[in-house]
A = this chain, B = another copy of it.
């Protein structure tokens, strides 16, 4: 697989799909149809809220939708989607809700999905999640090798009900779980009440994801800059709640990923958590961390990953601290801030000087392992549509490429390798 002429197997670990809202009716239990009519009736009001927040700019939203009308149907139309993925060279994908962050017209019923669970009725939230999950299972079944569907899993209600939905979702063919990033007044994610959820996720081999979206918007006073400055923090936050409370120790089969939040925050977090645990600092006044049996970075490498939608060069340059294997690239299809419909160009810009072996890990191999894609069965498609290293501008002779990152690679996580700080840069 390190033959530098072989096309890449590209798996996007952060894509979105969902029906235009009104079309979820057949997927809802009949008892929720009246509530669903109310939900649909508030669509304009929700759109107005997005406009006020500054998330929805009328002009650019319309332009994006007009320019990409056909492709955007790939948000719910499986045939159109296959065409868009082919065009982008993406052989397979992890499918999350939230197709339409601009307009909000394509949203799972009752706010199930990426929205904040704050104020959501737990029963309706779960009903909306089941409807979305039923549709998603159908959608993914059109080409199950290619689509790993992420079931929406609200946690505000009874834990038993969540566990039931995990098994139902697994049986229906879905492959991962999306929990809300925030607990909206409920028990924080360190709470042992969630143990049955983590256990069921491990048992069914369904990775648990958070995704950017939920946030305490009532605190922002409509300032979009505030909202975006901390948008990654909220979905990342459950990671340290799970880690320090020993959830990864108690559930070694649990895999946890943060999506839609980049990975720029991970080196600092890991550095701090490891230092705390290893007692290099703070040991003078702090008691030990009895819930953990190993260093934070060991749990990270064993059980945690990031679905990095369109990662920046700054983030890729820090991959030896993050862990190359922990970065799962995503196209963010069909979001306007993603790489679609110009993924090929985007990949060339981002990866041209990165070693081919590492690129293979980040673009697909790690995602295949985490989400259980069958690389062998995807191989013919990847051979047909995947870009070659040459197409990404990566030189046939990889020795100089490997050499120019050598110092960064060898320094790695500097607090473990004995250096004072990382080496971020190329060349000698």
Contact = CB atoms under 8 A, between A and B. Distances in A.
B225 A244 contact: yes
A224 B289 CA distance: 8
B420 A272 contact: no
Interface string A263-296: 0110011011100110001111111010110000
B221 A190 contact: yes
Contact of A285 (B61, B277, B428): B61
A117 B255 CA distance: 37
A202 interface: no
A241 to B, nearest CB: 6
Give how many copies assemble into the complex. 2
Interface in A217-254: 219-221, 223-226, 228-230, 233, 237, 240-241, 243-245
A81 B161 CA distance: 61
A424 B54 CA distance: 35
A57 B229 contact: no
Given A285-B337, A421-B317, A223 B245 contact: yes
B191 A221 contact: yes
Contacts of A47: none
Contacts of A268: 264-265, 268
Nearest to A64: B284
Nearest to A276: B228
Contact of A284 (B225, B273, B336, B423): B336
A425 B318 CA distance: 13
Contacts of A225: 240, 243-244, 273, 276-277, 289, 291-292
Given A64-B284, A336-B284, A190 B314 contact: no
A168 interface: no
Given A229-B244, A425-B424, A337 B281 contact: yes
Given A313-B421, A314-B271, A221 B188 contact: yes
A388 B219 CA distance: 48
B407 A285 contact: no
Contact of A282 (B56, B228, B428): B228
Nearest to A58: B287
A113 interface: no
